[in-house]
Amino acid sequence: MASIITDTQDTERKISEDQLKEAIRTILLYIGEDPSREGLSNTPDRILRMYDEIFRGYDEKRKPRITTFTNSAHSEEMVFDCGDYYSMCEHHMLPFFGQYYLAYIPSAEGRILGISKVSRVVGYCAARLQLQERLCREIVEMLDGALKGTSQGFAIVMRGRHMCKSMRGTRNKGEMSVAYFTGCFKKKAQLRNEFYNFINTSKL
């Protein structure tokens, strides 16, 4: 079973499952609950298993394999993908989630991505304690790395709703958008406009 918190070599757990469950019980006591009551007795165990899933992004072994292909058509068209994502904010350990919109332009002699892999990369990078800004960058870096830096540039916009803003403090809607551009998207406003047109016509 994959561990929640591993060192980079993924050799040994720093925190045992029992220690984590004990920590959850401490939180339950702190908020005024009785960890031994029926409805809560398995909660530490459920949270442990949930963390293994929603924080799998710390486990190198669960990193998605990104298929790339030779750009045999020498295409330099913009490739666009979008979908939903779910992550946890690092400030409050509460969810933030929304839509991502990603585009890249391959170079004629470079490689192209199996576009179906983008959502897996988004899911993997989102499965850590995150900031929306860093999440954008990590997704692009991982995809760019898979293409060995051969693309002309990447564009990503992430829209997010932050539960830490909706549930607490000012209780506003907690919505924010972050955009990140590299290469040709950084240089050419016209490409960014095309990308935003894709976003506006996408069904999300």
Interface residue list for Zn ion (CB under 5 A): 89, 91-92, 164
Closest-by-Cβ residue to Zn ion is: 164
The position carrying tokens 């990590």 is 138
Looking only at Cα atoms, what is the longest distance across the chain?
64
Q: Where are the strands (E) in the chain, listed by range?
A: 68-70, 79-89, 95-105, 111-113, 129-130, 153-162, 175-181
Judged by beta carbon, residue 88 or residue 118, the one nearer Zn ion is 88
Judged by beta carbon, residue 62 or residue 92, the one nearer Zn ion is 92
CB of 98 to Zn ion, least distance (A): 14
CB of 29 to Zn ion, least distance (A): 24
Phi-psi domain of 148 (left: phi exceeds 0; alpha: psi -120 through 50; beta: other):
left
CB of 153 to Zn ion, least distance (A): 30
Judged by beta carbon, residue 91 or residue 187, the one nearer Zn ion is 91
Residue type, 113: L
CB of 126 to Zn ion, least distance (A): 14
CB of 173 to Zn ion, least distance (A): 14
> CA–CA separation, 63 vs 82, rounded Å?
20
Judged by beta carbon, residue 89 or residue 155, the one nearer Zn ion is 89
The position carrying tokens 């997704």 is 139
> CA–CA separation, 156 vs 127, rounded Å?
18
Judged by beta carbon, residue 71 or residue 87, the one nearer Zn ion is 87
> CA–CA separation, 152 vs 76, rounded Å?
9
